[in-house]
Structure 1
């Protein structure tokens, strides 16, 4: 458990450096699918070498971690804290129960990967996902944030945008709406700090559909050979500062 906590501490360090975030969505013919958000900090591990593991003793540095756990497990441990939240906050947190987190860290291979995944019955279940992740910050309890992986993931919900998805046989859309009143505010709050921390990071959209794509609104989108998968890369500052730049319209053949 101690080594696991130190892996989470490393995650906090990685959040202040160059990382690659990938938003994956796989949609099946019946409209069900899987959503995952992945963070790859391996580049930082390779660049920083042993300094990336500063704070762990030499014996622990040689150990690898491959751990999987669910938000439902975390929420069970924090049920007393959750019970003190407003009904709205409790409902937002409950929407994350089916998310599973996997952490892989291999000091020798200079690898650090974190992924959170959830199945969905309809793409609409992903609506307001960033706001829901932001609700995790309310899970303070008695634990410090560095020991609370759920609270750490709340940082992915601080872009002041309402995110929605739609899908049918003809098209797919990803739409983020930013309240005009929030744009100036973000320059002075924690989001402004996040923009500086993630200045060199990337945010990638990678979507797989059951049928070939005819057209994508972003001209920089890359296609797989069968045109069923599209990949679009953005600077992470677009996610934090201009989330509506990542709006996407897809038309199918």
Structure 2
């Protein structure tokens, strides 16, 4: 599993410039639910598939349970500074699924977690930042300005909060460290053209029909129990509030 995990992380970081990103949330009647953060790097697979075949990798369909991985690596993790140990422990309740198929040109990564309350969801972004820290020597650090995820999550440049109370769901983001945020944007400026076709999409699903969504660009499903909202990935990094939404469900 260690070899597979390192391959997942390395490919995930390399293929950021060719990814489509989506944030998928499924909320139950009691406020619990599931969140999936997905990266679709199939565009990269179309370009790199032949090379991967030459290296002997044709298809891989694997799921990594971070709780098991952290247990396996507990001795080496115990030697890290306490702050780093705490960040890695944030991954404990997550799973990562990877599907790579050179024949069908598919490459997808999903980071998944269940939650009891929408307020727990900001931990997803801390987890994404922590994944980079598991690459070992020379890997990206959680607050590395060259890591696009350093602009997304809590404990970094941007704070994202979720709430679901009395039929009203809110997602709100704000920049809490303008200096770190600017460093990230400056670092990514040279890759802006490569991010030009990458989008960040919200796919939110609710137990009741939606009465209204604050963002007029949202597209409803036929039963109005879900909606999608798509923005350019780079623009969402520059201005996290582009993905702010307030969703009011029908009584």
SS of residue paired to 1:24: strand
Q: Which of 87, 106, 110 is the equivalent residue of 1:115?
A: 110
Residue in 2 that maps onto 1:14? 15
Please say if 1:164 is aligned against 2:161: yes
**Distance in 2 between the 1:78 and 1:232 partners?**
38
Q: Which of 186, 189, 193 is the equivalent residue of 1:188?
A: 186
Map residues 77-226 of structure 1 onto 2, 5 A cutoff. 77-141=72-136, 145=139, 155-159=148-152, 160-179=157-176, 181-182=178-179, 183-189=181-187, 191-192=188-189, 195=192, 197-226=194-223
Residue in 2 that maps onto 1:247? 244
Structure 2's unaligned 5+ residue stretches are: none
SS of residue paired to 1:231: strand
* CA apart distance, 1:226: 1.1
Residues 77-129 of structure 1: per-residue CA shift (max 9 Å, x gap): 43244324444443333222111111111111111111111111111111253
SS of residue paired to 1:73: helix
* CA apart distance, 1:53: 4.0
SS of residue paired to 1:38: strand
**Distance in 1 between the 2:190 and 2:78 partners?**
31
* CA apart distance, 1:170: 2.5
Distance 1:215 1:136, change over 3 A: same
SS of residue paired to 2:85: helix
* CA apart distance, 1:20: 1.1
Runs of 4+ in 1 over 6 A off after TM superposition: none
CA RMSD of aligned residues (A): 2.9
* CA apart distance, 1:137: 3.6
* CA apart distance, 1:42: 1.9
Residue in 1 that maps onto 2:25? 25
Structure 1's unaligned 5+ residue stretches are: none
Please say if 1:237 is aligned against 2:234: yes
TM-score normalized by the length of structure 1? 0.81
**Distance in 1 between the 2:11 and 2:132 partners?**
19
SS of residue paired to 1:15: helix
TM-score normalized by the length of structure 2? 0.82
